[in-house]
Amino acid sequence: MKLFIGVHKSDGWKLCLWRFFSNLTSPFRIFFASIERLFIWFPVIWKDRDWDYHYLYEVLKKKIELMSNFEKKYAWAGKAEEVAKQMDEAVRLIDKVNDDCIEEALEPFYKVYPNFESEMLFEDSKDNPKFKTINFKYDSEEQEKLYHECISKSDEIRERYKKQLFKLLKDKIDWWWD
């Protein structure tokens, strides 16, 4: 007769002894694991501020990174590798959402003008003489027009990454633990 799957009744005393010591040491292990988590999270919390969405994404990113590392290191389910890849994709998308996407938006501009170097011109502000207005020097009107078109697309690119991120989370987050 078996007491538990894979445990013969002659081995029952070993299981009982293991459970006894496990329950005895459990509060200590939980305490020290919690202290370890404080050290892991401290750098993220230290930089946290309430005035911008950026920090919310940083907290979400850290949590998903930790869960991905857990899946890679400890998970034994058949889908663990796939889940870790999806979590890593979520982290990549969070980085894209937290970026202003200007460099990516300017790629078409730099294909046309590969040697462009922005030269800033500081002029007195018309609204307030205490401030300066920053303008860029362009070689032509076409160059300026393309530059501004590309810059205006950065918000669209960021929104596309945000949609991908939240679709991934909506579709997969519950599946990661089932």
| pLDDT at 58 (0 to 100) | 95
Question: How many Å apart are CA 172 and CA 178, to the nearest integer?
Answer: 10
CA 156-65-81 angle, 5° bins: 100
Instruction: Please state the three-class secondary structure of the chain as a single string.
Output: CEEECCEEHHHHHHHHHHHHHHHHHHHHHHHHHHHHHHHHHHHHHHHCCCCCHHHHHHHHHHHHHHHHHHHHHCCCCCCHHHHHHHHHHHHHHHHHHHCCCHHHHCHHHHHHCCCCCCEEEEEECCCCCCCEEEEEECCCHHHHHHHHHHHHCHHHHHHHHHHHHHHHHHHHCCHHHC
Residues 157 and 119: beta-carbon distance below 8 Å: no
Question: How many Å apart are CA 56 and CA 39, to the nearest integer?
Answer: 19
| pLDDT at 56 (0 to 100) | 94
Q: Can you read off the two tokens belonging to residue 78?
A: 């058949």
Structural domain spans, the chain? 1-47, 49-177
Q: Can you read off the two tokens belonging to residue 82?
A: 């796939």
| pLDDT at 1 (0 to 100) | 41
Model pTM score? 0.72
Question: How many Å apart are CA 134 and CA 123, to the nearest integer?
Answer: 7
Q: Can you read off the two tokens belonging to residue 155?
A: 């918000």
Average pLDDT of each block of 10 consecutive residues along the chain (178 residues)? 50 68 75 91 92 92 95 83 94 94 91 85 80 82 91 93 97 84
| pLDDT at 128 (0 to 100) | 80
